[in-house]
A and B are shown apart, each in its own frame.
Chain A
Amino acid sequence: MFKSMLEAFLNLFRPIRTLKYPAEEIVLPSGYRGLIEYGIDACIFCDKCEKVCPPGAILFYQNEDGTKTYRYNPWLCIYCGECVRACPKPEEALWQSETKQLSALKEEGANEGWFVWEEACKQSREAYATAKKSAKIQNKSEE
């Protein structure tokens, strides 16, 4: 008991344990798993990242001219880095940064906006597939 009292007395002169968070920034360790970033110039649109992503946070929209548009949901992402490991051109087309994502605001539509986009991507692919099919049939009949 006397030992505990001595400890309690000595604690008066020891440095404080807690962090002064809002006043002082918290230093994240290097190699912190942050947002996934994308470079459109190096991307070959192989869709590998989309297929391996566990929560489905990366989606490609199929444009009518054959190109694809990348879109990423930073609030759905679990930052596991599977997409970067699956990417044939890591560091150029897809890489993991150390930026931390802030919470979503209502205007950003983290859920609703993403559901709309998911549906749009699905429909764009189906439409593209049918258009391609019908074009093939037309080509054959012309021959």
Chain B
Amino acid sequence: MSFDGALVRKDFPIFERFIDGAPIVYLDSANTSQKPRQVIDAMTSFMQNSYAPINRSAYRLAGEATDAFEAARSKVARFINARSADEVIFTKNTTESLNLLAYSWGRANLNAGDVVVLTHLEHHANIVPWHMLQAERGIVLRWVPLTADGQLDLTDLTALLTDAKVFSFTAMSNVLGTITPVQQLCDAAHAAGAIAIVDGCQYVPHNVTDVQAWGADFLAFSSHKMCGPSGIGVLWGREQLLDAMPPFLGGGNMIADVRLDGFTTAPLPAKFEAGTPAIIETIGLGAAVDYLSNLGMANVREHEMKLGSYAIRTLTERYGNDISIHGPTDIASRGATLSFAFAGIHPHDLSQVLDQRNVCVRAGHHCAKPLMRLLGVSATARASFYIYNDESDADVLVDALAGASDIFGF
């Protein structure tokens, strides 16, 4: 069942703000999402009524705070259908989750000549940690290429995965919106004897996520793109793999015992959570998961398919050959994240003109410079839709683009 974006928008206080007398048309949710009152209130209430240290004090208030923190972990586990909440590790964000994997799993398991397979869709966060391991260990990187419409070209996947130890890939491109066949990719990784790491940063906020149905080994995602606060993210991993990994950061909370001659690690998930975590933000993430669960992730996907189709159709009808939307044309293969080129106008200039109408889009390389080079551009403009957008936002975008062609149309 779909829902009305204009009604959802009422839950987000930022949309009560007017800039230059007009409302905000926020089309940059692939960058970061806005926050509903439910999340803001949960964080405020926790600070006002329940704030205390977690996992280390005997008084009742600390017990309450610990329970609230762990309840958020359970909510996240249910949200992605993890077998157990112990498989959910809280990190800073997707970037830290992927770095944790490269650092901990990578250093324990990868040596010179070992193969890690990535794709041409990846964000820098799923490239640079492996580059760092390449420089340190001499691992070999292979890349899954793309088809002309920005989907993974799986023709030679079996050959690319031969002898690979890791296949790490995005479930949804932050530039092209491409949704990848995650289950198929996990199966292919396992058939080759590799582990499957899923970058779910763009996918998880917009779709039903089921790590068990995928058969994935690890999943990384961020709170701030799914209505939660910034500063908190998730690494989910299969218990057996997490248990076998060495710890990442050392310090308080992650130990069972410390002596002068060494330490032993705490069981999962504390083993990977050194130091006082982002407690308030974790409460906020739990509230965001509740908020999205109430909407229903299948409904979120349906809403965005309708909205994405509408935006693609109206942009194309109005501007024809002057607009070129990168990535898959079929909404079934993509999310409502639309990178586009318009009338040869530089994305930075487009964004400037759109800002006159309070239309917020991203202009830049989207932290995916290898993909930009493949597209033959230095930057794109990107309009990304979420639960609080509706067709009127797409209409304003379409109208506002005319202003750019008035100034630069040559």
Are these two chains actual partners, yes or no? no
Which residues of B are in contact with A by a Cβ distance under 8 Å?
A: none
